[in-house]
């Protein structure tokens, strides 16, 4: 058991003044959907891999799974095409991008219409440079043509990669495409990979200010791969930059730690819960990248966890704060939007245990040190966000919140809901539970 020595721990809760985002009216909450890259990368051999290659059938299958298997009902509503969808050359006359004629025989507009018939939107991929990362045509000074093409096709989002481009020109090339998008009748959400290509992932505040003014969300770390080590590195990186990231993160502009690995081969069940827990408290984009045709029920349950999705989609869009860390343990908290004006906010608390040797660990921390002094309430209902049907306990602000956390990348996440003064729990508990899952 670890008891945090709160007498020597100083928690500083700083006031974060958000930087204004590009105001195109889109993505006031983090985007949710599916992206092909992690699972299917650039597999274009459809003869050898007919069910796993980048083609029309793959994306239609994922649209169907989103629409029919419960994902749409909990908020996942976009299927995003990644690299390798196009012909190797632009149309020689119009200079437009052309979908691979063999793998996408009816074109991208047909795929968009197929999605819309099922209430699923479609996103697309391009690159700000001369070529995409896989060698297909990049923007290469075709901003106006490509923005018009994507608008006419009806795509609802675009992921703009940064290969084969001059990094010192990103501050011109990425904004130039944003300007081209603004001229189109159809609004398109804009995902930028701009900060992910900056050396050592060290991006100064003034650059993030420009990024947020031009992009709806942005990748800012190495590509995720199907392993726990990859997820752990992202968690540690976001912890190390937490104070900076919170200043630029919020409605209309989101940090993107990359795709959800859940349902693939690289994470255990507990590690899968941990990734979903972190992406939820960060208010990060929730982009699945598993084969939804073959995903097993235990991983599907994690991806469709309504309580965690509600935390992720909280209207204030705050990124959680890292308030305590050692080389083995982290504790994060996230303030949620109040359910009504003048009422105290609920808080989400996450305990994370990285050590890969020994038994699961009891971690306890005083409630009064988890919540800012000026906001602390006398008592809280404690909900386990992976089992929210019942109240775990009622805890006072002077007690320790103790949770048993699995080793090897395990975590526990709970929601602390204030017990209002003069509230009769036996009379109002059912309403409290209903309000708890407000997604």
pLDDT of residue 422: 64
Residues 219-223: contacts with CB under 8 Å, at least 24 apart? 219/191, 219/192, 219/193, 219/195, 219/256, 219/258, 220/195, 220/196, 220/255, 220/256, 221/196, 221/257, 221/258, 222/196, 223/258
What residues contact 62, with CB distance under 8 A and at least 6 apart? 34, 36, 79, 292
Mean pLDDT of 325-354: 96
Distance from first CA to last CA of the chain, Å, rounded? 35
- Pairwise CA distance, residues 76 & 63, whole Å: 10
Q: Is the domain covering 321-418 a CATH 2.60.40.1180 domain? A: yes
Cα–Cα separations (whole angstroms), residue 259 to 159, 226, 365, 417: 13, 10, 31, 30
Q: Give yes or no for residue 66 having a pLDDT over 70.
A: yes
Tokens 């502009």 belong to residue: 253
- Note whether 77 and 121 are within 8 A (CB): yes
For every residue of 276-289, DSSP letters joined together read HHHHHHTT--EEE-
Considering the four listed CATH numbers 3.40.250.10, 3.40.50.720, 1.10.540.10, 3.20.20.70, the one that applies to the domain covering 32-313 is 3.20.20.70
Residue 428 has pLDDT above 90, yes or no: no
Dump the DSSP string for 3-65. Answer: E--TTT-----PPP-PPPPP-SS--SS--EEEESHHHHTT---TTT-TTTSSSHHHHHHHHHH
What pLDDT, on a 0 to 100 scale, did the predictor assign at position 18? 55
Q: What is the mean pLDDT of the chain?
A: 93
253-312 per-position pLDDT tens digit: 999 999 999 999 999 999 999 999 999 999 999 999 999 999 999 999 999 999 999 999
For the ranges 7-16, 17-26, 119-128, 202-211, the lowest mean pLDDT is seen at 7-16
Confidence at residue 113, expressed as pLDDT on a 0 to 100 scale: 99
β-partners of residue 124 are: 158
Question: How confident is the model over 123-167, as pLDDT tens digits?
Answer: 999 999 999 999 999 999 999 999 999 999 999 999 999 999 999
What secondary structure letter does DSSP report for 337?
A: P
Q: Average pLDDT for residues 233-237, to the nearest whole number?
A: 98
| pLDDT at 91 exceeding the cut of 50 | yes
pLDDT of 57 above 90:
yes
Is the model's pLDDT at 20 over the cut of 70?
A: no
β-partners of residue 413 are: 350
pLDDT at 145: 98
Give the pLDDT band of residue 324 (cuts 50, 70, 90): very high
pLDDT above 70 covers a percentage of the chain that reads 91
Residues with catalytic roles: 161, 223
Confidence bin at 423 (pLDDT 50/70/90):
low
For the chain, the structural domain boundaries read 32-313, 321-418
CA distance 241 to 436: 30
Contacts of 55 (CB under 8 A, 6+ apart): 46, 100, 103, 104
């Amino acid at each position: 058991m670890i008891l945090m020595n709160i007498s020597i721990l100083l928690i500083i809760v700083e006031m974060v003044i958000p930087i204004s985002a590009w105001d195109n009216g889109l993505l006031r909450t983090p985007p949710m959907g599916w992206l092909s890259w992690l699972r299917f990368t650039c597999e274009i051999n459809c003869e050898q891999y007919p069910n796993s290659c980048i083609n029309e059938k793959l994306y239609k299958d994922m649209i169907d799974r989103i629409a029919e298997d419960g994902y749409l009902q909990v908020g996942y509503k976009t299927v995003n095409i990644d690299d390798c969808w196009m012909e190797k050359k632009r149309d020689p006359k119009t200079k437009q991008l052309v979908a691979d004629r063999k793998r996408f025989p009816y074109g991208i507009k047909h795929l968009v219409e197929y999605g819309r018939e099922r209430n699923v939107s479609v996103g697309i991929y391009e690159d700000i440079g001369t070529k995409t990362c896989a060698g297909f045509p990049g923007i290469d000074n075709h901003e106006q043509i490509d923005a018009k093409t994507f608008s006419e096709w009806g795509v609802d989002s675009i992921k703009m990669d940064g290969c084969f481009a001059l990094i010192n020109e990103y501050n011109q090339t990425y904004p130039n495409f944003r300007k081209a998008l603004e001229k189109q009748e159809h609004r398109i959400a804009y995902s930028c990979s701009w900060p992910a290509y900056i050396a050592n992932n060290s991006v100064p505040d003034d650059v993030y200010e420009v990024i947020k003014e031009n992009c709806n969300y942005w990748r800012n770390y190495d590509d995720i791969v199907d392993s726990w080590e990859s997820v752990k590195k992202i968690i540690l990186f976001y912890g190390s930059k937490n104070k900076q990231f919170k200043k630029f993160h919020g409605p209309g502009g989101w940090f993107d730690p990359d795709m959800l690995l859940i349902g693939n081969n690289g994470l255990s069940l507990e590690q899968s819960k941990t990734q979903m827990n972190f992406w939820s408290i960060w208010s990060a984009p929730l982009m699945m990248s598993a084969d939804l045709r073959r995903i097993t029920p235990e991983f599907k349950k994690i991806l469709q966890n309504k309580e965690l999705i509600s935390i992720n989609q909280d209207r204030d869009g705050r990124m959680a704060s890292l308030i305590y860390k050692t080389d083995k343990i982290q504790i994060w908290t996230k303030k949620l939007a109040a359910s009504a004006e003048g009422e105290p906010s609920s808080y989400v608390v996450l305990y994370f245990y990285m050590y890969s040797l020994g038994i699961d660990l009891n971690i306890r921390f005083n409630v009064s040190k988890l919540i800012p002094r000026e906001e602390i309430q006398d008592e809280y209902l404690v909900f386990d966000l992976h089992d929210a049907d019942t109240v775990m306990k009622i805890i006072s602000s002077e007690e320790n919140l103790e949770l048993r956390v699995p080793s090897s990348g395990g975590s526990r996440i709970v929601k602390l809901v204030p017990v209002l003064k003069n509230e009769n729990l036996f009379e109002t508990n059912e309403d409290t539970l209903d309000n708890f899952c407000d997604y």
